[in-house]
Structure 1
Amino acid sequence: MSRLPLVSTETADAEQADLLTEVQRQLGRVPNLYAAMANSPATLRGYLTLRDALTHGKLSARVREQLALLVASENGCDYCVAAHTMRAGRMGFTDEAITATRAANAEDPHADAVLHFAKDVLRSRGRVDDDLIASARQRGVSDAELSEIVGHVSLNILSNYFNHVARPELDFPPAAITEGAALATKWRSASRVALVDGYALRNNTGQPVGTVENVQVLIEGGFLHIKVSETAEVQIVSAPAVALVTYRAES
């Protein structure tokens, strides 16, 4: 359950409603991230304004999506990795390209240079040295693009960190776990897992159901592993079959 309330059209005041209407217009729906961020109209408006400004910059939509995916992966934001994995797939990125992006690699030389510089910005917290800037320029990254990379890193850090604080319910198909290279993959407690219509899991009595509650889950390699009890066989479903995973707050 989200640690901040999700603002809906029924609970929104006039300013919140205007912002959520704009999100609906841009995205076709209101993801839980934005519904939680709407608790502060100033925060949501600032986020949307910066995002809109950056969409009119030099970097292409594909590279912007790669930057969002890289930053989310580096920051261990499961919510944003899930959202941008889905969006990258819809833009035609293969599973291999998505995996490479999360490691700051790309087949396209320009995108590869952008991702490498963004990773350096993230890991140094902006304290990149002269050689890194010179290398990016030599690889064809313009000064305008260097500036925009910092903007996109900042934009996505905002959404990543907000998700860490608010923990909104995941309303995108889950992607591979993003705990980070330094942390071991682990099972997590979920109060609810719901599948897309047409898919089923077996509950703890062996009956096929579309939703299970109070289970253990593990996301790995684009698949969701589910244990409905400690003695039950692990069930595995592909990410597109998952409609919703509600994690329990960890103590």
Structure 2
Amino acid sequence: MVNFKLVTPETADTIAQPILTKLQEKFGRLPNFFGALGIDGVSLTSFLALQETLNAQTKFTAREQELLALAVANVNGCHYCVSAHTFTAKRMAGLTEDECTKAQKGEGNDPREKMLMTLAINIVKNHGKLEEDLLEEAKLLGFTESDIVQITLLTALNSFTNWLNNIVDPEIDFPKVSLI
């Protein structure tokens, strides 16, 4: 296995250095994911810009975003992201441990939340090719075409972080949660 060396504010390229310093100050430490993403300053900058825009303008709540992130991380087999998103889902979006576990399987009690996860899981598994019946069901639950486009973007952004963590394999620096 190839071992990637995570970067720090001191070892990163000139693009990533100031960003990683700010992230380290914000979190009180530098989460290993950012040490992995910071290997390339352009990727770090681009990811954070897209994430910032989404956070400021998304149609979806923090809870919905975390449900989607947990479902996608589990499908993509990302142990790091399942652990990190379980931590943030409970602390920042108010999800319970049981809701986090169910989200990994795309399950939930709320039909709209379940559809959100089902769409995301199907986007990953089917490379974006969604069945017409599924799209019709989503529209009946109130999802617009715009919502589906944004769900696709959220799924892609989460898949990117999953794939990066699967490649770099940083040590999990959150309480570990098993993949399902």
Query: Which residue identity is paired with 1:155?
Result: L
Contact 2:7 2:36 in 1 (8 A): yes
Measure the CA separation in 2 of the matches of 1:139 and 1:160: 28
Q: Secondary structure at the match of 1:64?
A: helix
Provide, for residues 81-119 of structure 1, a one-character-per-residue CA deviation record: whole Å limited to 9, x for no partner: 010011112132122111111111222222122111111
Q: Which residue of 1 aligns with 2:130?
A: 128
Q: Which residue of 1 aligns with 2:95?
A: 93
Matching of residues 82-161 of structure 1 within 5 Å: 82-90=83-91, 91-161=93-163
Q: CA RMSD in A?
A: 1.9
Q: Secondary structure at the match of 1:14?
A: coil
Contact 1:2 1:167 in 2 (8 A): no
Measure the CA separation in 2 of the matches of 1:111 and 1:83: 20
Question: Number of residues paired by the alignment?
Answer: 178
Measure the CA separation in 2 of the matches of 1:108 and 1:25: 37
User: Unmatched 5+ residue regions in structure 2?
Assistant: none
Query: Which residue identity is paired with 1:8?
Result: T
Q: Which residue of 1 aligns with 2:70?
A: 69
Matching of residues 170-181 of structure 1 within 5 Å: 170-176=172-178, 178=179
Q: Which residue of 1 aligns with 2:42?
A: 42
Runs of 4+ displaced beyond 4 Å: 25-28
Q: How high is the TM-score relative to the length of structure 2?
A: 0.90
Q: State the identity %.
A: 34
Provide, for residues 37-78 of structure 1, a one-character-per-residue CA deviation record: whole Å limited to 9, x for no partner: 111111111221222222121011110111111111111110
Q: Which residue of 2 aligns with 1:16?
A: 16
Query: Which residue identity is paired with 2:10?
Result: E
User: Unmatched 5+ residue regions in structure 1?
Assistant: 181-251
Q: Specify the structure having the higher radius of gyration (Cα).
A: 1
Structure with greater proportional helix content = 2
Residue 21 (structure 1) shift: 3.1
